[in-house]
Structure 1
Amino acid sequence: MEQDIARAAALLQAARRIVALTGAGISVPSGIPDFRSSSGLWVGQDPLAVASAQAFAADPQRFFRWIRPLIDQVLAAQPNPAHRTLAALEQRGQLRAVITQNIDSLHQQAGSREVFELHGHLRSASCATCGQQVAAAALIPRVRRGELPRCQCGGVYKPDIVLFGDALPLGLYWLAVEQLRQCDLLIVAGTSLEVAPVSELPQLALASGARLLVINKSTTHIDARADVVLRGDVADLLPRIVDYRL
């Protein structure tokens, strides 16, 4: 492990345009569950039955019963050393962007400024009927009471997150793609890369000549093409890499 950390540190110290691609694993140490582990959010759930655009339209109450605990976990969470390390790399001028699948806003809370939230966030919600957007904080008391958060038009507010069957925000996606094409090091951190199209994003960086560092507890489909693969907790490993002295 120590040799791999040294190799990862050498990659990082040589890089000038770093991009980080992060997933649920980076926020697990902050108390937010991931999706696919034995204690994740999909245990005992069919994702398409609770967290798809079609399921929300058919039974929004079931969706809010499922997401209610997650909302409270996100509100209680604080950035961990991995979030803070990425923010520090940005402040040093090395990290150009964080591209994240997470909806918890912990990167911003840690101080990161260039954050591309490809799966949306929980800071606001929009009416599924008329499109009116409101701050999520105004709706949370109703959700906690088990009420459907309805708009004045009668529609139901949906958190501004990407559900299965929703399109990614295309403008944001293409801005993220441009960052990947310009980076010289991509750090894949805390994601199993199982959800398309995010799962294919590392290929874009590799095609442009970037080096690749993967930090995750489980294997990913891109491991064989990585310069360094580290298995373990991102909140432990990423600060060790940045602080390592060659």
Structure 2
Amino acid sequence: MQANRIAALAVFLVSVSALSGCQQGGPFGFLTSPPDAEGGSTPATATRLVERDVEAPEVFQVTETALWDGRPSLGGVWVAYPDVTDPERVIIRNSANGKFVIGALFRRDRPATGAALQVSSDAAEALGMVSGQPAELNVTALRRDETAVPVTEEAETTPPPDGEIDSEPLAAAAAAIASAEAVEPDPAPTPAPRQPQASALAKPYIQVGIFSVQANATRTGETLRQAGVVPTVYDQESRGKRFWRVVVGPAGTATERAQLLEKVKGLGYSDAYFVTN
């Protein structure tokens, strides 16, 4: 009888031990409870708007023979074509060698004979064109498009690999804080943010030119400054191509804008035109 009690007690203890293993995970993989799906943390995500250029063939697109006459021209990268209503920003492709560049499109008088597209010297250089030799170019209008791109918070806050933290920036920051606390200067008044000039015009700016070479854009900006016109040079990129836009303005009134355009064209930039920004 005593032996039966001992055997029953042993079985009971083994059962309790196995049950405990199930509840706590235990050493047996097939007894481990699956993690709570609702308890897992999901990285927080947000979105940001990214501007990009998209082709707009419905606005303008042609594939025509183009010619560069070999003469230098102002205004940076541009092409001119008959029947263009308004100046446009375009992507220009050379069908023969695959080169392309971002530039401006203007209207020209229809030639009696010869190539339909007129090309500036900067555009010809970027496209690999030779003076006096026709080339087939495809010209397509561009439009700015805003696309929402998801941003994962976890990815932005991931620490360095292997848990290493660069101590040099921390030491430099600590030294700067200590130095600032030792001096304790009087707090300077916060300057008021500069407000852009108000304008009721739909296109208060004037685009002087688009350039594929930064030095040419800088030179144009200096020419404008020496004439008393304050330019802004935008460093931009589209489809892997970097380019520089020279813009002046904004003008507050139509009269002021007309006077500014007249002054810019008087400096030789006859293809300058109104833009939104």
Q: Which has the higher contact order (CA 8 A, sep 6+)?
A: 1
More strand by share: 2
TM-score range, shorter chain: under 0.3
Give the TM-score of the pair, scaled to structure 1: 0.22
Rg: which structure is higher?
2
More helix by share: 1
Give the TM-score of the pair, scaled to structure 2: 0.20
